[in-house]
């Protein structure tokens, strides 16, 4: 309450003339109107500030979403690039390193493979492929299935086991029936656990050195595994 308002309350209305009462009332109403205008302006300013803050937050959120989208696109492109690289790398390794070297190496270890094929598929009666092998060695009495990876892990060895089981379960395939089935796993990089697991199972482990086109075949220390 202002000083003038206090004076009006303290001064008896009976002591005022009509003109004084009118002037005091008008002055009070004007001051009240000014206060209300001030409050309304402050409220409007606060509202504008809230809206501005909300708009800024919305813009930042949209910018973050756009940045995340761009990051995902870059990551997808990078993954596609590396998928293409490794796909091409596997093909190159097989053609330049593994194919020329593996058959002579295996024959030095007591086999007598005469045939080599890549990307061999096995089909069931209805024409649906149930197994595809990276590399296939064969003669009249024995077959070797080779799994090829840029980096060989335990999962790769486990998949090879499943593949061998499927092949033996479906040995009515003319090139498998009655033949001894051997296994090898090959990689440019071979995890220690995968190497140990494969050798314990009786699989050959084939190390490939891309730059030198060198193939090193590690024979299992125990009995050669057959499936």
Short-list 143, 127, 146, CA closest to 175 = 143
Q: Does position 175 have pLDDT exceeding 80, yes or no?
A: no
Compute the distance between CA of residue 133 and CA of residue 126 in angstroms, rounded to an integer: 19
Lowest-pLDDT range of 26-35, 93-102, 194-203: 93-102
Strand pairing report for 142-152 and 129-138: antiparallel
pLDDT score of 88: 47
59-110, pLDDT tens digit by residue? 888 888 888 778 767 756 654 554 454 554 565 566 566 778 899 999 999 9
Nearest partner of 10 among 27, 26, 24, judged by Cα: 24
| CA–CA distance, 64 with 70 (Å, rounded to integer) | 10
Ranges of beta strands (E only) in the chain are 115-123, 129-138, 142-152, 180-190, 204-209, 214-218
Model pLDDT for residues 212-221, shown as the tens digit of each residue: 567 889 999 9
Share of the chain above pLDDT 90, in %: 34
Query: How large a percentage of the chain has pLDDT more than 70?
Result: 77
Q: So what CATH class is 94-218?
A: alpha beta
* 208 neighbors 97 (Cβ within 8 angstroms): yes
Residues 30, 28: Cα–Cα separation, whole Å: 5
Nearest CA among 180, 188, 195 for reference residue 145? 180
């Amino acid at each position: 309450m202002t000083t003038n308002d206090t004076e009006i309350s303290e001064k008896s209305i009976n002591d005022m003339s009509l003109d004084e009462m009118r002037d005091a009332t008008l002055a009070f109403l004007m001051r009240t109107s000014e206060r209300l205008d001030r409050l309304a302006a402050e409220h409007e300013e606060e509202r504008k500030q809230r809206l501005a803050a909300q708009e800024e937050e919305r813009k930042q959120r949209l910018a973050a979403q756009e940045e995340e989208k761009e990051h995902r696109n870059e990551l997808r492109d990078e993954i596609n690039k590396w998928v293409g690289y490794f796909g091409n790398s596997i093909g190159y390794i097989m053609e330049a390193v593994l194919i020329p070297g593996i058959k002579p190496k295996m024959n030095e270890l007591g086999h007598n493979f005469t045939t080599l094929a890549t990307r061999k598929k096995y089909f069931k009666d209805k024409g649906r492929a149930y197994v595809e092998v990276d590399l296939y060695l064969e003669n009249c009495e024995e077959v070797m299935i080779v799994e090829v990876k840029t980096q060989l892990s335990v999962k790769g060895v486990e998949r090879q086991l499943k593949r061998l089981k499927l092949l033996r379960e479906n040995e009515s395939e003319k090139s498998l029936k009655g033949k001894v089935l051997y296994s090898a796993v090959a990689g440019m990089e071979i995890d220690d656990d995968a190497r140990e697991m494969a050798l314990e199972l009786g699989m050959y482990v084939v190390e490939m050195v891309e730059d030198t086109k060198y193939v090193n075949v590690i024979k299992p220390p125990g009995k050669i595994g057959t499936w």
